[in-house]
Amino acid sequence: MPPSLAPGAVVGITCPSGYVAASRVAHAITVLQQWGYRVQVGKTVGNEHHYFAGTDADRLADLQAMLDDPSIDAILMGRGGYGMSRIIDQLDFTAFLQRPKWVCGFSDITVLHSHLHAQYGIATLHSPMCGAFKPDTETADYILSLQKALCGHALQYPTMPHPLNRTGHAQGVLTGGNLAILAHLTGSQSEVDTTGKILFIEDISEYLYAADRLLMNLKRAGKLHGLAGLVVGSFTDMQDTERPFGQTIEEIVADKVCEYNYPVCFGLQAGHQEVNFTLTLGAVHHLQVGPAGSMLSLVR
């Protein structure tokens, strides 16, 4: 676990994947400063090269500088999109391992989360990124959950009952993130290790048949066998083909794990939606799923 942030800590902002306008980052800077942190803005913020926030070399250099800089205590990503997997194998984590710091983001940043967990066992924060910070959201619980996580609070995440929940309780390291990225990483050095862990998944704008295929990829790779538990976050703006697939996304997920006996929780408020609570991936959590609802709790 990287150390918690104290007042005066430095938060770096970089964009290792898709382009983001500097204007979308401006309010995040203001809020981080209100929280008592100093902010160091990377060269990739507002930079653009076609789809990306600069060339691969630009984005690699900016992220590498922040990983190496001992004065930076946490790194918040400007946005996700795509691009992290193009540079992950060129990153040098030597200095980072001497002084780990919080890496914060989600979506395409799942590549970096999974790599740090698989290769080095370092916890990271699956969290809102800069675009989520707006004047009308800065005091929202899900935005403040990032502040609490950075400060070392033991967070809890209640969810409502769901008809496809599977009751039970489990304890294990929380891992996972974006479903498409987790499937994309199969067979790589960044491949997620799920054995004995609580797996969290979420996604956006996938066709239902494609989500079924992604889950089949994880299942065939052994990633759904031997879990301690499964937590399903938001699957936003899912699409269907002209000939309907025949199952909802929740039914698709439940079908893929029906032969296993670990607890399954649907409806965690994290992922590609406005309400996106911060999760401490790579840290031990307790999952309790019952008829009245579920609770995922960080174990300190």
Half-sphere exposure of 190 (CA within 13 A, CB side): 24
Domains present along the chain, CATH in parentheses: 10-150 (3.40.50.10740), 156-298 (3.50.30.60)
Which active-site residues does the annotation give? Answer: 107, 202, 272
Give the pLDDT of residue 300: 80
Q: What pLDDT sits at residue 152?
A: 96
- How crowded is residue 57: how many other Cβ atoms within 10 Å of its Cβ? 11
Query: Residue 132: its pLDDT value, please?
Result: 98
Per-residue pLDDT of the chain (300 residues; tens, 9 = 90+): 999 999 999 999 999 999 999 999 999 999 999 999 999 999 999 999 999 999 999 999 999 999 999 999 999 999 999 999 999 999 999 999 999 999 999 999 999 999 999 999 999 999 999 999 999 999 999 999 999 999 999 899 999 999 999 999 999 999 999 999 999 999 999 999 999 999 999 999 999 999 999 999 999 999 999 999 999 999 999 999 999 999 999 999 999 999 999 999 999 999 999 999 999 999 999 999 999 999 999 998
Q: Is the pTM here over 0.75, yes or no? A: yes
Positive or negative: CA dihedral 161, 165, 170, 172: negative
Predicted pLDDT at 180: 98
Helices (H), the chain: 22-34, 56-68, 94-98, 110-120, 141-150, 179-184, 208-220, 249-256
- What secondary structure letter does DSSP report for 258? T
Residue type, 135: P
- Residue 185, pLDDT score: 98
Which pLDDT does position 204 carry in this prediction? 98
- What angle do the packed helices 208-220 and 249-256 form, to 10 degrees? 20
Q: Which pLDDT tens digit goes with each residue over 77-121?
A: 999 999 999 999 999 999 999 999 999 999 999 999 999 999 999
Rounded to 5 degrees, what are φ and ψ at 183?
-70, -40
Q: How far apart are CA 157 and CA 101, in angstroms?
A: 24
- Total Cβ atoms within 10 A of residue 15: 31
- pLDDT per residue as tens digits for the range 156-166: 999 999 999 99
Which residues are within 8 A (CB) of 81 and not within 5 positions of it... i.e. 6 or more apart? 17, 18, 19, 51, 107, 108
Q: Which burial class, exposed, middle or buried, applies to 152 when counting CB atoms under 10 A from its CB (0-12, 13-18, 19+)?
A: middle
